[in-house]
Structure 1
Amino acid sequence: MHINQNILNKVNEWLTPVFDKETQESITEMMTSSPKELEDCFYKNLEFGTGGMRGIMGVGTNRINQYTLGKNTQGISDYLKKSFVGEELKVVIAYDCRHNSDTLAKVVADVFSANGIKVYLFSELRPTPELSFAVRYLKCHAGIVLTASHNPPEYNGYKVYWQDGGQLVPPQDSEIIQIIEDLKYSDILFEANETLIEYIDNDIDEAFWQSTVENASFNTPQLAKDNLKIVYTSLHGTSIKAIPSVLAKAGYNDVNIVAEQSVPDGNFPTVKSPNPEEPEALTMALNLADEINADIVVGTDPDSDRLGVAVRDLDGKMKLLNGNQSMVIMTAFLLEQWKRTDKLTGNEFIGSTIVSTPLMLELASAYGVECKVGLTGFKWIAKFIKDFPNQQFIGGGEESFGFMVGDAVRDKDAVAAILLVCEIAAQAKASGSSLFKELINLSLDFGFYKEHLISITKKGIEGANEIKQMMINLRENPLKEINEQRVVCIEDYQSSKALDLMSNETYDITIPKSNVLIYYLEDGSKICARPSGTEPKIKFYFSVNTELPSIEEYNIIEQELDNKIKNIITEMNLI
């Protein structure tokens, strides 16, 4: 097959002595045996997306390896020196259970130390939220975690955190990316200064656990805690290093761990995908819950930033909550706790995203607080905390099964969120209710909102072009009517413009630019199209709503909303 000359130029660079013998041999073999794979390895440079940089491990500019991560780290080192002149620079590094995460973390530590930067390196795998906590606790200038979150086993990734404990946001992100792009691979300093690398573990763990218990506990009586039967799974990931200890420290003693999934393993052998968004991932936990008649199931993704929750429904059967449902039940509980303790002054806010449920806006309004809405990704919620220091952040989340309790951790945090959701469940059960009934009560008060997500995977160069064309079609040939409902407004976050189709007026969108398109229908439905920033996928988010007259009609109304979503998906030819 013919390979583009630009790709060949990159390949030839990687065949020079700057790169080790093993890398060169792998490339030489691919040139004869797998030219298409070679093309995919080099056709672009891995980019920073919604949650940092993620990619398949291997050789090449479009892969995660010691050279692509080394170049990132060299660029960040140069930027830190430029940004904090005269300061003793410090960074902290953590990693997850994935293949090569520990060795890649040491490469990153080596490069920082070779640049004269003090490095705190966790001695073993740790949850991502603990890294965010450690940045501020250790007063570091930056933090790195080696993780690919919930991606398949062949992936790894690199998340960058700044002084505030949040992920990189503008303008630092584009400035750092430019420095990285300007570097040559020969500029990377790989020779470690071991005297600048300090291994950390138990002291940080204890501080993180204590902080979590303080932030996510709300005066639940011990008897209520004792009466809550919990099933927990780490899905072979890092949360096993924190959640059992945090729950025990908080007084929850009936915690039943899914043993087959408790050992960290980058192959994730018991699941198709280690993602609590996928119902299949929690099958073993749900089975255990039925065996022991548990009240609640909680599980995390490999780096412990996402949480999955299942509770007993009105018929006593375990029911998985989606990310929007768990987010609103936690947010409503926090708001009510702040109200009961007279902490609401009108100067507080909660956080959400443009693709999440509109119910968050309703909750904020009811409690007299602001709901700040940003792009997908918790870095934007963390940015709100940094940009508005005179306002207090209560909590917030996004539809992708993430939540943040307070501001001790500046990223989605399944450790604190799981403790919080257990507090809610324990208190509800003690009062004769249940977490599921509390969720229904919110629907009675604010309307029944139902959300759904579909992801369409398109791999490789052709897939990237298909996704690009889908977004072009939605922009250039916008739908006027969906499921017999007129489209009343279209928001285009790429152009920062919104069009009101009823008045034919346009208005500006003040949220930063992003490749996102949202359709609003006359019945209050919302449809969002967004290419993923970290995976070869395009995602479609659906939100529909109606009144819920009574708790007895819950199942009927839910079915009606489910059917509405199915009709929209069918009419848009997405299945």
Structure 2
Amino acid sequence: MDTQLAFRVKHWLEQDPDPRTRQELQGLMDNGNEAELQQRFSGRLAFGTAGLRGVVEAGPMGMNRLVVQQTSAGLGAYLKQQVSDLDTRGVVIGYDGRHDSKQFSEDAAGVLSAMGIKVYLTSKVAPTPLVAFGVIHLDAAAGIVVTASHNPPQYNGYKVYWGNGAQIIPPHDSGIAACIEKVATESIKLLDLESASNKGKLVMLEDDFYQSYRQGIKAAAVLQNHTKPELVSLSYTAMHGVGAEMAETVLADAGVTQVYSVAAQREPDGDFPTVNFPNPEEKGAMDLVIAEAKKHGAMLACANDPDADRFAVAVRTLAGDYQMLTGDQVGVLFGHYLMSHAEKNQRLTCTTIVSSSLLSKVAASLDGTCLTTLTGFKWLTNVAMAEQTEDNQCLFAYEEALGYMVGSMVWDKDGLSALVAFAQLTAELASQGKTIWDRLEDIYREHGFHLNAQVSIALKPTTPNIGAYLRKNLPSVIAGKQVLSTDDISCGLRTFKDGNTQAIVLPASDVLIFKLEGGGRVIVRPSGTEPKIKCYYEVVASMGSDDSLESVQIRAQAEMDSFIAAHQASLPQ
């Protein structure tokens, strides 16, 4: 075996506090599995703006106790550099229901408290939005959630919030990563929880903390529409995650009495036994909650993902079936509903470049504003905070991947407040003899039927760099439609058909956006790590008086299919 590799493995084994992962590595050494060891020691699990996420396994490329301890020591060192009142503010830590999450959260608490940093640790599993809430509520300097959200069972992760309650953005990510690299060469000290508590460095967040979040939801200005909540009936699933207890509680507080939880998916279970992939967007993941809704004839089938920061819903149709709403449909429904009820000084909404353009049109028609940011809630919330004013407070933000921020009690996506808001919207419509479908149809008749699709295209290793190719050969026509403007986010420039340009105020990112005549759009995002690109398509179909929701959808889908085929045929192979 390569001598340097053997030395690195041996050094890691000496530091690894977990007998299970030590045994795993020792087994690979004993069997001479050099290829696997090379992969495990090829670098470090990268710390970025989403923190860490990876498969739970031994070695620096996996999620394990030593990686968590080193990450926590790096985060602690960075906070000491950056936050002058760190000692009085401390760090909030919560964790989800995955098998290793509790242990990882205790490791993080042990490292930070040994560094003299006060830690607030949740006494039991916590939905991710509660930690984001806790950062603001406790005026902490940062927050950590041990969660892999809706990834497969073998994953775990480590998500970091800054003191403003939002996910970290540059330069904090690279600053923390640099500190992790430095401390990874040093031995790390831990305090056990009892010692940390005795030294006044550990506060356990008991039920009163969870109740504070509950009361916050109850009092939130955007959740005060109590129009006939008893009319709403819904099934609910926590998808083997941590949302059920709080979800059922906040719905009951809002007067929603007809709630039917899927018993088989109600309790946290890190094996996720009834779903292949615990993500509501995946095929089959909503089957049990839809079956539960059918059993009771409920209006809605609602889901949170396992850490309860995302919200998904299927709505009963006239035929009695259930149809999933897309993230964009839910986002536009929320935007329309919230702006129709909000105060005059609360008209700021936000969405991302790859989400539907419909929210911006709805906002303009309701005397609101809509900001567009890069993809990810870290951008939505940090930009919203920076842009809101006393006269124009942030009301709502969403991204198409089922993430919604209703109001601003939590500066991140929150599947629990979204669940309450959607029930209240449905109740108000029901009190008028209307459905969610009626409201969507009204919006589409006013602004056009917007259909969005996302396609990942695998490229041959020999295919030229797509981003560079498109920048050199900017298309003037795509799928038979004139390109009206091209946004190149890598250099912050919008180029119009006539050659005029204007600056775009967004952080540099390898993204190209082509806006077409007729309202269509295609966004191209090359992958930085593998030979593929992601393309996001939007078509807009006008809705005539003879059109039904079904007929316009069929027409738009046909247009979308030919649009995607024509665009992909135009790309270099």
- The TM-score normalised by the length of structure 1 is 0.89
Q: Which residue of 2 aligns with 1:287?
A: 291
Q: Deviations over 1:269-312 (max 9, x none)?
A: 11111111224211111122122211011101111111111112
| Residue range with higher mean Cα deviation, 472-481 or 149-158 | 472-481
Which residues of 2 match residues 357-376 of structure 1 at below 5 A? 357-376=356-375
Q: Which residue of 2 aligns with 1:402?
A: 403
Shift of 1:349: 0.8
Shift of 1:70: 1.6
Q: Which residue of 1 aligns with 2:275?
A: 271
Structure 2 Cα separation of the partners of residues 353 and 368 of structure 1 = 20
Structure 2 Cα separation of the partners of residues 561 and 100 of structure 1 = 46
Structure 2 Cα separation of the partners of residues 515 and 98 of structure 1 = 34
Structure 2 Cα separation of the partners of residues 12 and 481 of structure 1 = 59
Asked if the contact 1:18–1:186 (Cα under 8 Å) also holds between the matched residues in 2, the reply is: no
Structure 2 Cα separation of the partners of residues 161 and 43 of structure 1 = 28
Letter in 1 for 2:485: C
Which residues of 2 match residues 442-481 of structure 1 at below 5 A? 442-455=443-456, 475=471, 481=477
Structure 2 Cα separation of the partners of residues 233 and 448 of structure 1 = 30
Asked if the contact 1:213–1:416 (Cα under 8 Å) also holds between the matched residues in 2, the reply is: no
Q: Is 1:37 equivalent to 2:36 in the alignment?
A: yes
Q: Which residue of 2 aligns with 1:435?
A: 436
Asked if the contact 2:89–2:139 (Cα under 8 Å) also holds between the matched residues in 1, the reply is: no
Shift of 1:498: 3.6
**What is the root-mean-square deviation in Å for CA atoms of aligned residues?**
3.0
Of all paired residues, the percent bearing the same amino acid is 33
Q: Is 1:241 equivalent to 2:245 in the alignment?
A: yes
Q: Go from structure 1 to structure 2 and tell me whether the alpha carbon gap of 1:21 and 1:416 turns closer, same or farther (over 3 Å shift).
A: closer
Shift of 1:136: 1.1
Secondary structure at 1:76 match in 2: helix
Q: Which residue of 2 aligns with 1:183?
A: 183
Shift of 1:444: 0.7
Q: Which residue of 2 aligns with 1:510?
A: 505
| Residue range with higher mean Cα deviation, 245-254 or 163-172 | 163-172
Q: Which residue of 1 aligns with 2:213?
A: 208
Structure 2 Cα separation of the partners of residues 435 and 417 of structure 1 = 15
Q: Which residue of 2 aligns with 1:160?
A: 160
Structure 2 Cα separation of the partners of residues 360 and 534 of structure 1 = 32
Structure 1 Cα separation of the partners of residues 430 and 510 of structure 2 = 43
Q: Which residue of 1 aligns with 2:84?
A: 85
Q: Go from structure 1 to structure 2 and tell me whether the alpha carbon gap of 1:251 and 1:551 turns closer, same or farther (over 3 Å shift).
A: farther
Q: Which residue of 1 aligns with 2:491?
A: 495
Q: Which residue of 2 aligns with 1:64?
A: 63
| Residue range with higher mean Cα deviation, 59-68 or 12-21 | 12-21
Asked if the contact 2:144–2:158 (Cα under 8 Å) also holds between the matched residues in 1, the reply is: yes
Ranges in structure 1 where 5+ consecutive residues have no aligned partner? none
| Residue range with higher mean Cα deviation, 55-64 or 509-518 | 509-518
Shift of 1:531: 6.3
Q: Go from structure 1 to structure 2 and tell me whether the alpha carbon gap of 1:330 and 1:279 turns closer, same or farther (over 3 Å shift).
A: farther
Shift of 1:59: 1.7
Letter in 2 for 1:152: P
Shift of 1:496: 3.0
Structure 2 Cα separation of the partners of residues 552 and 311 of structure 1 = 21
Structure 2 Cα separation of the partners of residues 113 and 204 of structure 1 = 20
Q: Go from structure 1 to structure 2 and tell me whether the alpha carbon gap of 1:327 and 1:467 turns closer, same or farther (over 3 Å shift).
A: farther
Structure 1 Cα separation of the partners of residues 296 and 188 of structure 2 = 55
Structure 2 Cα separation of the partners of residues 107 and 61 of structure 1 = 16
Structure 2 Cα separation of the partners of residues 106 and 551 of structure 1 = 61
Shift of 1:174: 2.7
Q: Go from structure 1 to structure 2 and tell me whether the alpha carbon gap of 1:320 and 1:178 turns closer, same or farther (over 3 Å shift).
A: same
Structure 1 Cα separation of the partners of residues 529 and 377 of structure 2 = 14
Asked if the contact 1:498–1:508 (Cα under 8 Å) also holds between the matched residues in 2, the reply is: yes
Q: Which residue of 2 aligns with 1:174?
A: 174
Asked if the contact 1:50–1:377 (Cα under 8 Å) also holds between the matched residues in 2, the reply is: no
Q: Which residue of 1 aligns with 2:339?
A: 335
Structure 2 Cα separation of the partners of residues 332 and 8 of structure 1 = 60
Asked if the contact 2:513–2:521 (Cα under 8 Å) also holds between the matched residues in 1, the reply is: yes
Shift of 1:109: 0.6
Asked if the contact 2:523–2:535 (Cα under 8 Å) also holds between the matched residues in 1, the reply is: yes
Q: Go from structure 1 to structure 2 and tell me whether the alpha carbon gap of 1:356 and 1:555 turns closer, same or farther (over 3 Å shift).
A: same
Shift of 1:362: 0.6
Q: Which residue of 2 aligns with 1:103?
A: 103
Which residues of 2 match residues 2-41 of structure 1 at below 5 A? 11=9, 13-17=11-15, 23-31=21-29, 32=31, 34-41=33-40
Asked if the contact 1:306–1:413 (Cα under 8 Å) also holds between the matched residues in 2, the reply is: yes
State which of 251, 261, 266 in structure 2 corresponds to 1:262. 266
Structure 2 Cα separation of the partners of residues 527 and 117 of structure 1 = 47
| Residue range with higher mean Cα deviation, 180-189 or 468-477 | 468-477
Q: Deviations over 1:207-230 (max 9, x none)?
A: 111111222423323xx2222111
Q: Which residue of 2 aligns with 1:304?
A: 308
Q: Is 1:225 equivalent to 2:229 in the alignment?
A: yes
Structure 1 Cα separation of the partners of residues 562 and 210 of structure 2 = 48
Asked if the contact 1:348–1:369 (Cα under 8 Å) also holds between the matched residues in 2, the reply is: yes
Asked if the contact 1:440–1:551 (Cα under 8 Å) also holds between the matched residues in 2, the reply is: no
Q: Go from structure 1 to structure 2 and tell me whether the alpha carbon gap of 1:267 and 1:21 turns closer, same or farther (over 3 Å shift).
A: closer
Q: Go from structure 1 to structure 2 and tell me whether the alpha carbon gap of 1:532 and 1:12 turns closer, same or farther (over 3 Å shift).
A: farther
Shift of 1:481: 4.0
Structure 2 Cα separation of the partners of residues 520 and 405 of structure 1 = 29
Structure 2 Cα separation of the partners of residues 202 and 419 of structure 1 = 21
Q: Go from structure 1 to structure 2 and tell me whether the alpha carbon gap of 1:566 and 1:107 turns closer, same or farther (over 3 Å shift).
A: same
| Residue range with higher mean Cα deviation, 551-560 or 234-243 | 551-560
Q: Go from structure 1 to structure 2 and tell me whether the alpha carbon gap of 1:569 and 1:269 turns closer, same or farther (over 3 Å shift).
A: farther
Q: Go from structure 1 to structure 2 and tell me whether the alpha carbon gap of 1:472 and 1:272 turns closer, same or farther (over 3 Å shift).
A: farther
Structure 2 Cα separation of the partners of residues 527 and 237 of structure 1 = 35
Total equivalences in the alignment: 560
Q: Which residue of 2 aligns with 1:253?
A: 257
Secondary structure at 1:180 match in 2: helix
Secondary structure at 1:566 match in 2: helix
Q: Deviations over 1:302-348 (max 9, x none)?
A: 1111111111235443111000000010110000002xxxx214x73
| Residue range with higher mean Cα deviation, 357-366 or 536-545 | 536-545
Q: Which residue of 2 aligns with 1:543?
A: 538
Q: Go from structure 1 to structure 2 and tell me whether the alpha carbon gap of 1:109 and 1:555 turns closer, same or farther (over 3 Å shift).
A: same
Q: Which residue of 2 aligns with 1:122?
A: 122
Q: Deviations over 1:543-565 (max 9, x none)?
A: 11121113743211111211222
Report 1 or 2 for greater relative contact order, CA contacts < 8 Å, sequence distance ≥ 6: 1
Secondary structure at 2:27 match in 1: helix
Asked if the contact 1:126–1:238 (Cα under 8 Å) also holds between the matched residues in 2, the reply is: yes
Structure 2 Cα separation of the partners of residues 456 and 61 of structure 1 = 31
Which residues of 2 match residues 185-200 of structure 1 at below 5 A? 185-192=185-192, 193-195=195-197, 196-200=201-205
- The TM-score normalised by the length of structure 2 is 0.90
Shift of 1:50: 5.2
Q: Which residue of 2 aligns with 1:569?
A: 564
Shift of 1:468: 10
Q: Which residue of 2 aligns with 1:421?
A: 422
Structure 2 Cα separation of the partners of residues 59 and 103 of structure 1 = 15
Secondary structure at 2:236 match in 1: strand
Asked if the contact 2:69–2:111 (Cα under 8 Å) also holds between the matched residues in 1, the reply is: yes
Q: Which residue of 2 aligns with 1:528?
A: 523
Q: Which residue of 1 aligns with 2:548?
A: 553
Letter in 1 for 2:414: D
Q: Deviations over 1:499-555 (max 9, x none)?
A: 43x223444332112233323233322222346899998643221112111374321
Q: Is 1:325 equivalent to 2:343 in the alignment?
A: no
Asked if the contact 2:301–2:315 (Cα under 8 Å) also holds between the matched residues in 1, the reply is: yes
Letter in 1 for 2:161: Y
Letter in 2 for 1:80: L
Asked if the contact 1:495–1:513 (Cα under 8 Å) also holds between the matched residues in 2, the reply is: yes
Secondary structure at 2:410 match in 1: coil
Letter in 2 for 1:496: G
Asked if the contact 1:92–1:121 (Cα under 8 Å) also holds between the matched residues in 2, the reply is: yes
